[in-house]
Structure 1
Amino acid sequence: MTIHYPLPLQTRIVEATDADEHANNLTNWEQRYDQMTAGVFHGLLEELQLPHMQVFRESTSQGMHQSCCVWPDAVWFGLPYSAQATRINGRVAEKDAIMVRPGACEFELMTPADYTIYGVVVRLDALQNAADRGGYALDWNQLGRTERVHAHPGLRRTCVHALAELLQPMAPHNEANTAQQCVFDALLPLLDTRAPDAAMPTSFARRQRIVAKAQDYVREHHDQALTVPALCDKLFVSRRTLQYCFEDVLGINPMQYLRIVRLNGARRHLRDAAAASKTVRDVAADWGFWHFSQFSNDYKKLFGHSPSEMLRQRRH
């Protein structure tokens, strides 16, 4: 269920009670969300569209594994507002970090429960023009390959405060260009005074590759009741190596990942109108769950409602 609230000054607020529905609410993004922690999902998106940028605040009640992609010729900056760390492509973004990713480039986030993040997506040419006007030097080579910018804590707090003010429903930003300049004024000092991100260790890059291969294999063989030993055989790695890779990159063990990613796949399948003729048992089998009662119990524990309830919601 999605609830839309019409608000003045182009501020948009959308609530959702399903992770994928929430992922689709962010304008012009390509996203897929897997719920990682147990409980009913609630998502809140507050979004403001400006001439050359998008500003938003996103809140999610459950831990999520997010696959994201921003539109081309743009760059995304993410400022987490949470006590717990975020992982971007497996790397931990510390408390004062700003996450950075270019457009048309898929990236992954692991976010904890009760999470809020501020985001800015801005066209590259508009960002460069604003930097030139303000006398800021941007290192595009660094921004293009980094995932984390280490920001001065005070400047970061100032930026978050400016974004929060703009996103207030009755904020005084009647003139869009003025609001946009406020964002540039808060964001550019962070990029101009950044400290370089540490180079990715070779060992971590190898673990990223192993996890990516495992994820691809699980998606391609989702109808099979995969086990960790079987996955190790397919990837030619030991069980201990696979364990280290998943814990280092995603913060969970391979067995948890196998169960959660298939449960999220079944949830999507149950929501899909194209699968209207399928029963819950059919969907469970399609995702490698052969013990139906265990599937139903695990599904309800993770999402807070039974698979049959999800099916009834779709049909109505």
Structure 2
Amino acid sequence: MAPASSCHTDSMAFDAPIVGNTHQIRTIEAFDADEHAHNLTDWEQSYDQITRGHFHGALAELHLPQMQVFRERTSQAVRQSCCVWPDAFWFGLPEQSDQTRINGRLAGEHAIMVRPGACEFELVTPPDYAIYGIVIRREALWQAAELSGCRIDWAQLTGTEVMHVDSSSRASLLQTLSGLLQDGGGCTDRDLRQQVLVNALLALLDTRAVDSAVSGSFQRRQRIVAKARDLVLAHHDQAITVPRLCEQLFVSRRTLQYCFEDVLGMSPMQYLRLIRLNGARRHLRQASSKSLTVQDVAADWGFWHFSQFSSDYRKLFGQSPSESLRQRSH
């Protein structure tokens, strides 16, 4: 997996986005984190559940001529790998932003997150979380900014992750988004709905203050965490230990602990276990062979003590591994 915020090249295959093909508000629920990740149209995503209990996700999504608008709810804390279609910008407005991490950085209050299309980024979100999202084609945003006289520093907008904005402008945009996703904002004209939303977005961008650049030391911590994840996934049939991670990454145990706590808000041991449990769940739910057993999957993800695996699995996901296997996709 590519490190967080790495951008795809033009050779990467993306389906053509369907923005503009429908005018209905689409609502969908899911009871598995990774299943929920795939419900958002034209995104490349995978989710790992972090906190314990049954998962419930809800999505309300609306497509306008040059935009995609959505509200997403998740009941459990989730680690998200996200990438939106090219030639677009994503703007994310959490309803409660103080506990959101984007590429390891806390967004803070009165913030809006932004990422360009075809550029992978990572979110870590808390339980009982809701976020509004806007994806707008770059050309449409540029034209609207020109018409309104709003000057946008495109290089800065592409390079930043967090913008601190005027609280009243942010509240106004959230109110506009809420209305659109409940009843279309009382308007059936898609072009007019888009114009209203773009105007609210531009008003917010006019008040923005871009977060300071990421320090070199924080970038190093991000790279260490990304390399640790790559190592775990590349050798998922082995129970990789913290000492082995330290040896492979050429860091001390204290440094590794600090990197994980600073970037993800958890210890390396917690992270290793969560990644492997989520990998096992994905394997169980996507299994195509009828002869596959829970024991096979446990072993394939480095869990050799089956009773402990079953207990940890049930605590995290609120169901047994065998129940997940019975719910697999067909």
Shift of the 13–315 alpha-carbon distance from structure 1 to 2, 3 Å rule, reads closer
State the TM-score, normalized to the length of structure 1.
0.95
Aligned counterpart, 1:232: 246
Aligned counterpart, 1:122: 136
Aligned counterpart, 1:206: 220
After superposition, what is the alpha-carbon deviation per residue over 1:32-81, rounded to whole angstroms, capped at 9, x for unaligned?
A: 00000000000000000001000000000000000000000001000011
Aligned counterpart, 1:21: 35
User: How far off is 1:121 after superposition?
Assistant: 0.2
Shift of the 236–36 alpha-carbon distance from structure 1 to 2, 3 Å rule, reads same
Query: Which structure 1 residue ranges, 5 or more long, are not aligned?
Result: 1-7
After superposition, what is the alpha-carbon deviation per residue over 1:198-251, rounded to whole angstroms, capped at 9, x for unaligned?
A: 111111111111111111111101110111111111111110000000000011
Quick one: which of 149, 164, 167 aligns to 1:150?
164
Aligned counterpart, 1:271: 285
User: How far off is 1:108 after superposition?
Assistant: 0.2
Aligned counterpart, 1:5: none
Query: Which structure 2 residue ranges, 5 or more long, are not aligned?
Result: 1-21
After superposition, what is the alpha-carbon deviation per residue over 1:147-185, rounded to whole angstroms, capped at 9, x for unaligned?
A: 001100110000000000000046423110011011111
1:299 aligns with 2:304: no
Quick one: which of 112, 122, 133 aligns to 1:98?
112
On the 8 A contact 1:9/1:170 being kept in 2, the answer is no
Root-mean-square deviation over aligned CA pairs: 1.3
User: How far off is 1:273 after superposition?
Assistant: 3.4
Aligned counterparts of 2:285 and 2:194: Cα–Cα separation in 1: 38
State the SS of the aligned residue for 1:180: helix
Aligned counterpart, 1:135: 149
Aligned counterparts of 1:132 and 1:225: Cα–Cα separation in 2: 55
User: How far off is 1:139 after superposition?
Assistant: 0.6
Aligned counterparts of 2:99 and 2:197: Cα–Cα separation in 1: 24
1:287 aligns with 2:301: yes
Aligned counterparts of 2:290 and 2:122: Cα–Cα separation in 1: 31
Letter in 2 for 1:52: Q
May I ask how many residue pairs the two structures share in their alignment?
309
Aligned counterpart, 2:13: none
After superposition, what is the alpha-carbon deviation per residue over 1:272-294, rounded to whole angstroms, capped at 9, x for unaligned?
A: 13243210000000000000000
Determine what percentage of the aligned residue pairs are the same residue: 65
**Mean CA deviation greater in 84-93 or 244-253:** 84-93
